[in-house]
Copies of this chain bind each other. A is one copy, B any other.
């Protein structure tokens, strides 16, 4: 079995992998994602590569093998199911659960995980809108865009929050932009680098302005028009 350290590396390699699948993840990015010095990342990746969980090319970077990706998705599944359990059943605030799940994900047994999955009725998304991989290691693809590049004026719903720090999530809470909230992007100001939002059902969500760098952290889906 993979140690918890290896599980963490694999998870971070998965989460930080570049959008373009042909690209490698550089050691620099990996080492900051995992929180170790570059030298440590290099030697660890060498070891993981000996176990055929990643491919490693010196001075190019690292990439998951199919086996490594399955393991990473398994860890991610544990993480996200646990987050949802903590929020829905144990009543923790969603800004607290990421840290907690970070530890728990390495110790819950398959049997316990299966029970959690059952109790939550096989959920597809965690509290931040991140998709929960299936037990078979399949991720349902959402098609989303950020508040930076979605069309102006169209009704959309918040689908996913990419920054999961407690601090940021508390801000998200305050302005009511939780996953599911319906909004439209009123305008973008490229000089001021801000995005203006409008609530669809007034009162539910505040009208908000936010900088481009913050807008990038929200993924939204276009609302289906009911015919």
Residues in A lying within 8 Å of B, measured CB to CB: 86, 89-92, 96, 99-100, 103-104, 106-109, 111-112, 115-116, 119
Residues of B within 8 A of A108 (CB): 100, 104
Query: With the chains together, A151 CA to B104 CA distance in Å?
Result: 46
Report copies per complex.
2
Residues of B within 8 A of A109 (CB): 99-100, 103
Instruction: Return 13 A-B CB contacts under 8 Å, by A number.
Output: A90-B112, A90-B115, A91-B115, A91-B119, A92-B111, A92-B115, A99-B109, A100-B109, A100-B112, A104-B104, A104-B107, A104-B108, A106-B107
Q: Across the A-B interface, give the 5 residue pairs with the lowest CB-CB distance, nearest first.
A: A103-B107, A90-B115, A100-B112, A104-B107, A100-B109
Q: A100-B112, A112-B100 are in contact. Are A119 and B107 (CB under 8 A)?
A: no
Residues of B within 8 A of A111 (CB): 92, 96, 100
Query: With the chains together, A109 CA to B116 CA distance in Å?
Result: 19
Query: With the chains together, A119 CA to B99 CA distance in Å?
Result: 21
Closest to A111 in B: B96
Residues of B within 8 A of A91 (CB): 115, 119
A64 to chain B, nearest CB (A): 26
Query: With the chains together, A112 CA to B125 CA distance in Å?
Result: 22
Query: With the chains together, A89 CA to B104 CA distance in Å?
Result: 17
Residues of B within 8 A of A92 (CB): 111-112, 115
A224 to chain B, nearest CB (A): 36
Asked whether, in the complex, the Cβ of B100 is within 8 Å of the Cβ of A119, the reply is no
Query: With the chains together, A11 CA to B57 CA distance in Å?
Result: 46
A193 to chain B, nearest CB (A): 37
Query: With the chains together, A112 CA to B100 CA distance in Å?
Result: 8
Query: With the chains together, A168 CA to B27 CA distance in Å?
Result: 50
Residues of B within 8 A of A86 (CB): 112
Query: With the chains together, A107 CA to B112 CA distance in Å?
Result: 16
Query: With the chains together, A106 CA to B106 CA distance in Å?
Result: 11
* Best-surrounded residue of A86, A107, A119 (most CB of chain B within 10 A): A107
A56 to chain B, nearest CB (A): 30
Asked whether, in the complex, the Cβ of B103 is within 8 Å of the Cβ of A119, the reply is no
A102 to chain B, nearest CB (A): 9
